[in-house]
Homo-oligomer: A and B are copies of this chain.
């Protein structure tokens, strides 16, 4: 059978209803219903709910004939053997943990789409040259143990695993202890060493943004992950009585913080609307209506796919804030800086070709959000497949993707995995 015919068979074998049923069943583990009827998920990593979700996944994988293994970071692997068992596997997957008020698709979709694609490949009688592995990365969200992506960072050696040992959750539990408990409770699973160099990595995910839906596209061909810089700005003034203190004698932290944000709006202005600039937190002290504010702390989330823009405008933040002060003083602290990740062309090109062969409208785009793929891109050719999600909403119970959009992503993924595992 020719390669393209095999890929077409695999895509056709994707079972839309089975994928949807599994998404819904998985979403009930840690699931809750909001007052306005949305079905949210709260499934912290390394929790009993996380283990319940993994057991469900393992049951489906074994029924499909996949081999299960776990590594020291509790990353879970489901393997379809290749004709050459010693060849570097093609890796796909995402994560199973959620934000505290998360949705049913973020992460779970990438794992279940991977399982669906691999099951479709196997059911089509295709025996790929290379093994294909579906992975569920540990702690992508960082909702319980921050920062996230500790599973993929450990796997890729982006950071030594021990660096995360002493992270604590809100109850004071150490990451290392939670991980050891998980490994003990899953000691029936075959274990494997940490990390390897995959032949390629591809991750399916909801877009978590509105572009695909707004532009009527079926598939996002992700070309990289934009860079990100996070700042905390502290504006210090002096509190005074709101009724007695003339405005000319005040050091009003709210007013100078507002001037700073206006100046930052100008600095970050982008007519192409590619740059992302967000002030999402703004906290006032003493925060009473009849006292002039003595302090404001606000955050800056700044992202751009171009390293130069990220550097130049980010480096101008402190001076821009300082110039905006009239009576207060300001301190700017950069607490996070991630350079843009550009994916090598191989996987994006294969994704785009697969979408075209399926008659799906595809858009090349960077990812606005972080993903485990960011770290895999350092090891091997990497790509992502985005599907549209309603209103671009994510990290929220209202997060939703249609059954057909989910199936489209799995169909593209099945073709891509066939292609990448063929040689």
Q: Say yes or no: B243 contacts A228, CB within 8 Å.
A: yes
Binds B, one of A157-165, A283-291, A307-315, A400-408: A283-291
Closest to A293 in B: B280
Q: Which residues of B contact A100 (CB under 8 A)?
A: 286, 288
Q: Say yes or no: B243 contacts A303, CB within 8 Å.
A: yes
Q: Which residues of B contact A299 (CB under 8 A)?
A: 289
Q: Which residues of B contact A131 (CB under 8 A)?
A: none
Query: In the complex, which of the residues B261, B274, B392 contacts A258, with contact meaning CB atoms closer than 8 Å?
Result: B261
For A260-283 the 0/1 string (1 means CB < 8 A from B) is 011001000010011111111111
A281 and B284 in contact, given A99-B291, A261-B258, A289-B301 (Cβ under 8 angstroms): yes
Binds B, one of A48-56, A59-67, A70-78, A207-215: A207-215
A244 and B392 in contact, given A262-B258, A299-B289 (Cβ under 8 angstroms): yes
Q: Say yes or no: A210 contacts B249, CB within 8 Å.
A: yes
Q: Say yes or no: A287 contacts B278, CB within 8 Å.
A: no
Complex Cα distance, B291 from A369, in Å, reads 11
Q: Say yes or no: B143 contacts A288, CB within 8 Å.
A: yes
Q: Say yes or no: B290 contacts A284, CB within 8 Å.
A: no
Q: Say yes or no: A395 contacts B281, CB within 8 Å.
A: no
Q: Say yes or no: B368 contacts A244, CB within 8 Å.
A: yes
Closest to A397 in B: B239
Query: In the complex, which of the residues B208, B244, B270, B279 contacts A208, with contact meaning CB atoms closer than 8 Å?
Result: B244
Closest to A298 in B: B254
- Judge whether A184 is part of the interface by a CB distance below 8 angstroms: no
Closest to A262 in B: B258
Interface size class of A (residues with CB under 8 A): 35 or more
Q: Which residues of B contact A300 (CB under 8 A)?
A: 289
Number of copies of this chain in the oligomer?
A: 2
A280 and B254 in contact, given A245-B210, A288-B143, A369-B241 (Cβ under 8 angstroms): yes
Q: Which residues of B contact A332 (CB under 8 A)?
A: none
Chain A binding surface SS class: loop
- Judge whether A81 is part of the interface by a CB distance below 8 angstroms: no
A243 and B280 in contact, given A249-B214, A258-B258, A289-B301 (Cβ under 8 angstroms): no
Which has the most chain B C-beta neighbours within 10 Å: A230, A243, A299? A243
A290 and B280 in contact, given A210-B249, A303-B242 (Cβ under 8 angstroms): yes
Q: Which residues of B contact A291 (CB under 8 A)?
A: 99, 101, 278, 280, 395
- Judge whether A393 is part of the interface by a CB distance below 8 angstroms: yes
For A155-193 the 0/1 string (1 means CB < 8 A from B) is 000000000000000000000000000000000000000
Complex Cα distance, B146 from A174, in Å, reads 36
- Judge whether A203 is part of the interface by a CB distance below 8 angstroms: no
Closest to A143 in B: B288
A248 and B273 in contact, given A370-B243, A395-B291 (Cβ under 8 angstroms): yes
Pick the 3 closest A-B CB pairs, nearest first.
A209-B244, A244-B368, A289-B299
- A to B CB contacts below 8 Å, 17 in the list: A142-B288, A208-B243, A226-B243, A239-B396, A240-B396, A243-B301, A243-B303, A244-B276, A244-B392, A258-B262, A278-B291, A279-B293, A280-B292, A282-B287, A282-B293, A283-B284, A290-B370
State the A residues within 8 Å of B (CB): 99-101, 142-143, 146, 148, 207-211, 214, 226, 228, 230, 238-249, 252, 254-255, 258, 261-262, 265, 270, 273-294, 296, 299-301, 303, 367-370, 392-396
